[in-house]
Amino acid sequence: MSAPALILKPGREKSLLRRHPWVYDGAVQRVLGEPAAGATVAVRSAAGGFLAWAAYNPASRIAARVWSWHEAEVVDAALLARRIDAALAYRAALRIDSDAQRLIYGEADGLPGVVLDRYADVLVLQLTTAGAEAWREGLVDLIAERLPHCAIYDRSDAEVRALEGLPPRVGLLAGTLPEDLIIHEAGLKFRVDVVRGHKTGFYLDQRDNRRIVAAQAAGRDVLNCFAYTGAFGIHALAAGARSVLSIDSSAEALDQARAHVALNGLDGERCEWLEADVFQALRRLRDAGRRFGLIVLDPPKFAPTHQMAEKAARGYKDINLNAMRLLEPGGWLASFSCSGGVSAELFQKIVAGAAWDAGVRLRLRARLTQAADHPIDLDYPEGEYLKGLLLQRVD
């Protein structure tokens, strides 16, 4: 008996020949055999040529995700072990100045649907696809073998699981969680709640950007919008900011941010906290005549998909425009988008439009992206989601 297979429609093999690791359901002509969700299938062109071994999921718009491009390679625990080892070796070579790192980043590490983040001695696993779920036990064993002194916590509660027909799964998989989990980033401490925090607990992807942005903070009044647990503001304070105003709609996040000031021995007198909607708060700050020398805009995902890009564009334009109106001459704006549905090019256009409407001239001082432990493969552009513009007002 030959392995179950997906036969593609004529012409639909092109993206796979370029090593893009997804097969959309609309590209599939026929399914041979009766593969269950998560089972390994051979993907073949209409002419029958082998393209890849992939994990099948009949419930998803992405009907298959590639495990291997080589017909001779077997999809088994040994393959997963090789991929995990390569992912760990890559991070080790990065010499990241933090004990909090993304160790596995899905497709970019050849492990579709698998995310593994490390927070000191706690690992957080997030499985988001049927293929990854099918290998759950094997993955946990391989990870535990390699990092035996770490606890492993399952945070497979990302919304994208619903698109794969998977229910949320959370809970402890190995070891015990410490009462108080503290990570270290560039000499600063942050408390991470892996059970209830956003994503897997912390925004690891912004690590480099926090340092780059904080480098402009000395002596300036800083406005940290969408502050979450305050990371950008803490870095700015440590770098000598005159003051930091942090805004978030979550009182709980601001409480944690406040605690981070004390945890790092920083001056609480220089901090101001505002529990508010950023869209409204920016207008009120303008009415109050406030000005800032450094503004950070790090909003949540406005557009997960391209279909929502237009509505997201209005949101980005609004906050950027209203932030620019608060910027001192010579001041800095660090503006981010983590929307997969908004390209870097579109984002820059939106921000340029906002600057025009605000009547402010801005110079692009740096383009920012996600930290290198969230690698971007040229074959898989979807892996690039975080875009940032570091701008300086020139007049």
DSSP assignment letter at 237: H
Contact call for residue 300 and ligand SAH (CB under 6 A): yes
Length of the chain, in residues? 395
The number of beta carbons lying within 10 Å of the beta carbon of residue 252 is: 12
Contact call for residue 248 and ligand SAH (CB under 6 A): yes
Cα dihedral: 133, 139, 140, 146 (round 10): -160
Tokens (6 digits) for 328: 């001192």
Please answer whether residues 233 and 214 qualify as being in contact, where contact means their C-beta atoms are separated by less than 8 angstroms.
no
Contact call for residue 194 and ligand SAH (CB under 6 A): no
Helix axes 344-358, 309-324, angle to 10 degrees: 40
Cβ burial of 343 (10 Å; 0-12, 13-18, 19+) is middle
Binding residues for ligand SAH restricted to 259-278, rule: CB under 6 A: 277-278
Among 164, 298, 373, 384, binds ligand SAH (CB under 6 A): 298
Contact call for residue 137 and ligand SAH (CB under 6 A): no
Contact call for residue 203 and ligand SAH (CB under 6 A): yes
Min CB(17)–ligand SAH separation in Å: 38
Question: CA 97, CA 309: separation in Å to the nearest integer?
Answer: 35
Question: CA 120, CA 153: separation in Å to the nearest integer?
Answer: 13
Question: CA 98, CA 368: separation in Å to the nearest integer?
Answer: 19
- The 228-247 contact track toward ligand SAH, x by CB under 6 A, reads xx-xx--------------x
Min CB(387)–ligand SAH separation in Å: 14
**Contacts of residue 225, Cβ cutoff 8 Å, sequence gap at least 6:** 247, 278, 281, 282, 295, 296, 297, 298, 299, 319, 323
The number of beta carbons lying within 10 Å of the beta carbon of residue 247 is: 23
Min CB(249)–ligand SAH separation in Å: 4
Nearer of residues 15 and 250 to ligand SAH, judged by Cβ? 250
Min CB(211)–ligand SAH separation in Å: 12
Min CB(225)–ligand SAH separation in Å: 7
Nearer of residues 249 and 264 to ligand SAH, judged by Cβ? 249
Contact call for residue 250 and ligand SAH (CB under 6 A): yes
3-state helix, strand, coil in the chain (%, to 5): 35, 30, 35
Contact call for residue 252 and ligand SAH (CB under 6 A): no
The residue range among 35-43, 76-84, 213-221, 227-235 that interacts with ligand SAH, by the rule CB under 6 A, is 227-235
Contact call for residue 311 and ligand SAH (CB under 6 A): no
**Contacts of residue 210, Cβ cutoff 8 Å, sequence gap at least 6:** 185, 186, 231, 232, 235
Residue tagged active-site, from 150, 225, 271, 338: 338
Backbone angles phi, psi at 77, to 5 degrees: -60, -30
Nearer of residues 135 and 316 to ligand SAH, judged by Cβ? 316
Q: How many helices (H) and strands (E) does the chain have?
A: 11, 20
Contact call for residue 347 and ligand SAH (CB under 6 A): no
Contact call for residue 369 and ligand SAH (CB under 6 A): no
Contact call for residue 226 and ligand SAH (CB under 6 A): yes
Catalytic residue list contains 338: yes
Min CB(284)–ligand SAH separation in Å: 12
Name the nearest CA neighbour of 34 among 72, 70, 1, 65.
1
Among 28, 134, 253, 282, binds ligand SAH (CB under 6 A): 253
Min CB(330)–ligand SAH separation in Å: 24
Element holding 87 (H helix, E strand): helix 77-94
Contact call for residue 206 and ligand SAH (CB under 6 A): yes
Instruction: Using the structure block, give the residue that is written with the tokens 């989601």.
Output: 385
- Binding-site ranges for ligand SAH (CB under 6 A): 198, 203, 206, 226, 228-229, 231-232, 247-250, 253, 277-279, 298, 300
- Residues annotated as catalytic are 338
